[in-house]
């Protein structure tokens, strides 16, 4: 299995913090966000990672090098990071993915290594990590039927009467089989890109594929492991608190 980390974005919601430092290099208790991720990948037995870079990407190249935390690193450049969304970064990475199964992560996540270890030890592919919704969470929601995802509901699709009690929150970590990637996801992502839908989130493609019953995906709970997505300065302050003993 190989990992893909999407780390090209501007991180503009963090204001001045990301003007001179890319979001994955922001320190959470004296450790960069991406170091949490690479250390977890190594502990879970994943030794190869593709990182899609854009905003201040040279800093990531310089700090991480070809190998970091015993994980071999390959960089893919997104030259259009200012005008595209993560679907374009994913397209660039998947074109170079080869025949391995993929663990897909976003570069603004801090989590306990046990979350990734459990996911790998579970042995399943085509699975999304999810958590129960809590007060401050927002983003893509998951609805399930039995063991399977029945719908992915993007944030802008969640109506004022959306029932979060019956939904889960995506953690933005997925394990995807080579079969799903090569036969379904990559062609669908490429189609979005080729028709100019480069401002989409890649979750919109997964949502369409699930809705059309072209793919089946299950869910793995993030519990009992701590995790947080860092989009804002408030998120960063919460991360410092959550991981103060790490």
Each residue's pLDDT tens digit, 42-76: 999 999 999 999 999 999 999 999 999 899 999 99
Is the pLDDT at 164 greater than 90? The verdict is no
pLDDT at 133: 82
Structural domains in the chain?
2-242 (3.90.550.10)
pTM: predicted TM-score of the whole model, two decimal places: 0.95
Provide the pLDDT confidence category of residue 246 given band limits of 50, 70 and 90: low
Could you give the percent of the chain with pLDDT greater than 70?
99
Asked if 239 and 214 touch (Cβ cutoff 8 Å), the reply is no
Each residue's pLDDT tens digit, 202-222: 999 999 999 999 999 999 999
Provide the pLDDT confidence category of residue 121 given band limits of 50, 70 and 90: very high
DSSP string over 134-189:
-TT--S-EEEEETTEEEEEE-GGG--TT--GGG-EEEEEEEEE-HHHIIIIIHHHH
């Amino acid at each position: 299995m190989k990992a893909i980390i999407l780390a090209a974005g501007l991180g503009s919601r963090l204001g001045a913090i990301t003007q001179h430092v890319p979001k994955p290099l922001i320190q959470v208790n004296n450790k960069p966000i991406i170091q949490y991720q690479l250390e977890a990948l190594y502990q879970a037995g994943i030794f190869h990672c593709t990182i899609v870079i854009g905003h201040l990407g040279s800093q990531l190249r310089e700090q991480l090098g070809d190998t970091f935390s015993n994980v071999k690193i390959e960089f893919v450049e997104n030259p259009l990071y200012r005008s595209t969304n993560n679907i374009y970064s994913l397209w660039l990475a998947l074109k170079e993915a080869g025949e391995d199964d993929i663990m897909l992560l976003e570069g603004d996540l801090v989590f306990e290594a046990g979350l990734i270890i459990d996911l790998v030890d579970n042995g399943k592919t085509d699975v999304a990590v999810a958590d129960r919704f809590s007060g401050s969470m927002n983003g893509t929601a998951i609805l399930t039927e039995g063991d399977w995802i029945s719908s992915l509901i993007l944030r802008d699709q969640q109506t004022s009467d959306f029932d979060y009690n019956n939904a889960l929150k995506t953690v933005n970590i997925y394990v995807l089989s080579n079969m799903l990637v090569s036969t379904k996801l990559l062609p669908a992502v490429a189609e979005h890109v080729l028709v100019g839908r480069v401002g989409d989130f890649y979750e919109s493609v997964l949502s369409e594929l699930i809705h059309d019953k072209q793919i089946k995906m299950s869910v793995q709970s993030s519990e009992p492991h701590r995790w947080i997505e860092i989009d804002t300065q408030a998120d960063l302050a919460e991360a410092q608190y959550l991981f103060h003993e790490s």
